[in-house]
Structure 1
């Protein structure tokens, strides 16, 4: 089965991708990871995130699991067109939705039967425990971040990356650096996270080394960098190290520019200090 094509622009970045343009101090970074994030900000954007509706953000992130924006964004738009009710409580509408109809509505996102079941179950829980969208939104934005994350992870189908995206894009929580496949690959390849770290290990390394206020745009800009330059199989440096704008900041773990080989950083051994 062919992979979903990557869209040209990260939907959370660019001029219309949400968030607020913000200036950050880029002088004298205290870690290599912060220096990399500063460079990514110069290359793409520096933003502060937060304010999205928490339940819709959660649904949007579930739709994006194991697929690309190209496939999941139309599914999100179709879902809103069918289920966004007059009273604005999407959670209540989806809690009462027919699973098969919802599955057909979000079919472009892939794994639609599984995702429709998850969305309905989560909607039922949001209505039962928080009274609907508004109560859930207050919980995500006002409760202790660790409590919110633990609660989200207790919901079926919500993993660390999904929980962290809700904390970042809805709750506006600083110090949250969601780790998707791009971030996981790039942080280890560049040597700012251990080569053998899993997704949680990369998250912990980045959140410890990057100032809280820079984690949000670090996440979205690193995804864009992964799409344009540091791809999984053919990073820009493979044929020409100078083709990558961050070449001088990268350890190229798992990339052999002489032999022309690319392997997962974990197969290449530990990074150096």
Structure 2
């Protein structure tokens, strides 16, 4: 099993959570077998432990951009606003233009600055401070926490699920980003036309709850290294992909080299 990279979607060794090992024998579903195989190739980790407000902000900044762009923006935000006082209160009182300028490298900075300020305002109004919001995310009912996060403007399903996973340490949470959405449908773990929420439901139903966290991060790593959007490794032959025997290759034709979104295949 590989060591966790220092920089990845989970934040590496400093991103919270604890390295661990899970049983991989006799998976009940193909999705569970895929996650077990990913766990053998990459890292297995029980997530949780991040502070909820920085986790929420970090995930908002990651929307529609790469880690390469969003991480420096997050670092700049913390350098300017995280002065050991209450981060939620500080961001709720932040000047929009100043915040937007600080996070400009993350793209869509005006929109993201508005989302961050509004979320911080709601946290202060509804919970009082960042510490109380932390307790709600870590100790509250997962469905209730998710619904409250989704009520915040600018917070979508992936953002809410990342907060539940990385800050709350909630079992059974499998956030779906573009990599997970593509791979799950391409492999046949979810219907070809499934949207992000339908993919999430399929994976959370099929993968043991304690394995959903590392399944999410490892599947993203796999998408970056092997199952890319335009040139998946299987185009070079089944031996080029370590998960070939578990994959339906929906939308991928090694014979012709054609790669399309699974939804365009007409499969049901």
Shorter chain as denominator, the TM-score bin is: over 0.9
Cα displacement (A) at 1:19: 2.1
Cα contact 1:67–1:110 (8 A) shared by 2: yes
Over residues 36-70 of structure 1, what are the superposed CA-to-partner deviations in whole Å (9 max), with x where a residue is unaligned?
00000001011100010011100000000000100
User: Stretches of 4+ moved more than 3 A in 1?
Assistant: 13-18
Cα contact 2:88–2:121 (8 A) shared by 1: yes
What is the TM-score of this pair, normalised by structure 1? 0.94
Cα contact 1:237–1:244 (8 A) shared by 2: yes
The question of 1:63 aligning with 2:81 is answered: no
Match of 1:175 in 2: 172
Cα displacement (A) at 1:22: 1.0
What is the TM-score of this pair, normalised by structure 2? 0.95
User: In 1, Cα distance between the equivalents of 2:8 and 2:125?
Assistant: 34
Match of 1:148 in 2: 145
The equivalent position to 1:73 in structure 2, one of 68, 71, 74, is: 71
User: In 1, Cα distance between the equivalents of 2:262 and 2:61?
Assistant: 28
Match of 2:254 in 1: 257
The question of 1:85 aligning with 2:83 is answered: yes
Cα displacement (A) at 1:95: 0.8
Q: Which consecutive residues of structure 1, in runs of 5 or more, have no partner in the other structure?
A: 1-6
User: In 1, Cα distance between the equivalents of 2:199 and 2:110?
Assistant: 31
Please show how residues 88-127 of structure 1 align to structure 2 within 5 Å.
89-127=86-124
Cα displacement (A) at 1:142: 1.1
Over residues 59-96 of structure 1, what are the superposed CA-to-partner deviations in whole Å (9 max), with x where a residue is unaligned?
00000000010000000000000000232x11111111
User: In 2, Cα distance between the equivalents of 1:14 and 1:127?
Assistant: 29
The DSSP-based 3-state class of the residue aligned with 1:51 is coil
Please show how residues 205-220 of structure 1 align to structure 2 within 5 Å.
205-220=202-217
Cα displacement (A) at 1:216: 0.3
The DSSP-based 3-state class of the residue aligned with 2:183 is helix
How many residues were matched structurally? 264
Match of 1:45 in 2: 43
Cα displacement (A) at 1:250: 0.6
Please show how residues 162-241 of structure 1 align to structure 2 within 5 Å.
162-241=159-238
Cα contact 1:13–1:220 (8 A) shared by 2: no
